[in-house]
A and B are shown apart, each in its own frame.
Chain A
Amino acid sequence: MALEGELAAMMAAAQRGDAAAYRALLKACLPVVAGIARAQGVRGEAVDDVVQDTLMTVHAARASYDPARPFLPWLGAITRRRAIDRLRRAGRRPVEVHDPLAFEAEADPGPAPGAHLETRERGAALARAVAALPEGQRQAVEHLGLRELSLEETAALTGRTKGALKVNLHRAIKALRASLTREGE
């Protein structure tokens, strides 16, 4: 209760016009007011709004504090009232999440459930199909299709002509289409 006595003394000094005591009092009140506001269910930035409202009311109503009585109940009553005012105002403003239509019309941007498993399965099937291709076709698919190298780079890597690579890629895609379609059925 040391805090209580200090605050009451500072408030009495503030009523006499002591600005330094008043400044110290208001600063000491900040965490107290924020704590009471949170206990009332105020969250996030609204806590700071309640602190501001409360300080304004404390200033306007400072004559109503009786120095013979404890200070914290006086401050607490003002804070709780301002917190309730703030919650009521927030309650009147429409919140989109609570609107059923807005909630249902909004698509979930994240992956669908099980999407990860499906992606892995399709990758494994593609890898198996590519591995089963003849050597020339497999190289053409890996370098041109999957790694997205240019014809010149692939020709330099594999030592085949560009024409041969094009033919191999064409045949490989045809073969893959056939094998993957068969597998998918």
Chain B
Amino acid sequence: MAARHEQLVEDLAGRLAPVRPLPRPGLRAAAWLGAALLLGAVLAMRFAAVGMEGQAPADFQLAMVGALLTAIAAAYAAFVTSVPGRPVGWALLPLPPAALWLGASGLGCLRAWVSPIPDLHGEHEAVGCLGFLVCVSIPLSLLIVAMLRRACPLRPNLTAALAGLAVAAAAATLLAPFHPHDTALVDIFTHAVVVAGVIGVNVLAGGRLLTRG
């Protein structure tokens, strides 16, 4: 048995090539968030901002702050859990901001239900939002999975779920300037489906992509 290990050690030492240690998880998360911001800027140039009339309701602002914090926390947690030996408790970091995001969105939905404002935006708005979310989510997912693969995620499904949450939250944050302030039930339902879908696809595909032999 010892001979088998000696052989492997010789093989690996013979194949050794210099590598640059990966930057810290915080830096890598910041790089990914920067790329997301860049994507948002490009989209801002393409789409004219709509629905900016007047001050946005407090709960909408709160929801957006929650989504932004969720994106930051989930991205950081995903990069931390991709490094062996880091405490897995970091995975809980995005839960409080996610609760804020979902809670505030639910509140906005309730407000719209209690005191409806005449809906100026038609059905096509919801479809547009769905397209926007998917268009933003796909490149961001591909980027974060490619970045995470360079590390060694020992819990691929957990890391992939955090990556999915980061992508969904970032997409929701980027959507905010182009989105009417009123959160109708259809909207929040669409958002929830997209968020769940992005996380699910990331776990299914990303979990496999992140598995190291």
Binding site for B on A (CB under 8 A): 14-17, 19-20, 22-23, 26-27, 30, 45, 48, 51-52, 55-57, 59-67, 69, 73-78, 81
Indicate if B105 sits at the interface (CB-CB under 8 A): no
Instruction: Rank and list the top 8 A-B pairs by shortest CB-CB distance, nearest first.
Output: A61-B152, A17-B18, A73-B85, A77-B84, A74-B85, A77-B85, A23-B13, A63-B19
| Apart from A74-B84, A78-B152: 4 A-B pairs, beta carbons within 8 A | A15-B21, A20-B13, A52-B4, A55-B8
Contacting residue for A26 out of B4, B13, B85, CB 8 A? B13
Nearest Cβ on chain B to A21's Cβ, whole angstroms = 9
Binding site for A on B (CB under 8 A): 1, 4-5, 8-10, 12-22, 24, 82-86, 150-152, 154-155, 212-213
The reply to whether A61 and B151 form a contact with Cβ atoms under 8 Å apart is yes
- The residue in chain B whose Cβ has the minimal distance to the Cβ of A60 is B212
The reply to whether B16 and A14 form a contact with Cβ atoms under 8 Å apart is yes
The reply to whether B18 and A26 form a contact with Cβ atoms under 8 Å apart is no
Contacts of B84 in A (CB 8 A): 61, 64-65, 74-75, 77-78, 81
- The residue in chain B whose Cβ has the minimal distance to the Cβ of A79 is B84
Contacts of B4 in A (CB 8 A): 48, 52
Task: State whether A22 and B212 are in contact (beta carbons under 8 Å apart), knowing that A64-B152, A78-B84 are contacts in the complex.
Answer: no
The reply to whether A63 and B16 form a contact with Cβ atoms under 8 Å apart is no
Docked complex Cα distance between A37 and B209 (Å): 26
Nearest Cβ on chain B to A18's Cβ, whole angstroms = 8
The reply to whether B5 and A19 form a contact with Cβ atoms under 8 Å apart is no
Task: State whether A64 and B151 are in contact (beta carbons under 8 Å apart), knowing that A22-B13, A69-B85, A78-B84 are contacts in the complex.
Answer: yes
Contacting residue for A64 out of B17, B83, B155, CB 8 A? B83
The reply to whether B10 and A23 form a contact with Cβ atoms under 8 Å apart is yes
The reply to whether A59 and B5 form a contact with Cβ atoms under 8 Å apart is no
The reply to whether B213 and A56 form a contact with Cβ atoms under 8 Å apart is yes
Contacts of B213 in A (CB 8 A): 56-57, 60
The reply to whether A52 and B21 form a contact with Cβ atoms under 8 Å apart is no
Docked complex Cα distance between A98 and B19 (Å): 47
- The residue in chain A whose Cβ has the minimal distance to the Cβ of B151 is A64
Contacts of B16 in A (CB 8 A): 14, 17, 19, 22, 59
Contacts of A16 in B (CB 8 A): 18
- The residue in chain A whose Cβ has the minimal distance to the Cβ of B20 is A63
Contacting residue for B83 out of A14, A20, A27, A66, CB 8 A? A66
The reply to whether B83 and A57 form a contact with Cβ atoms under 8 Å apart is no
Nearest Cβ on chain A to B8's Cβ, whole angstroms = 6
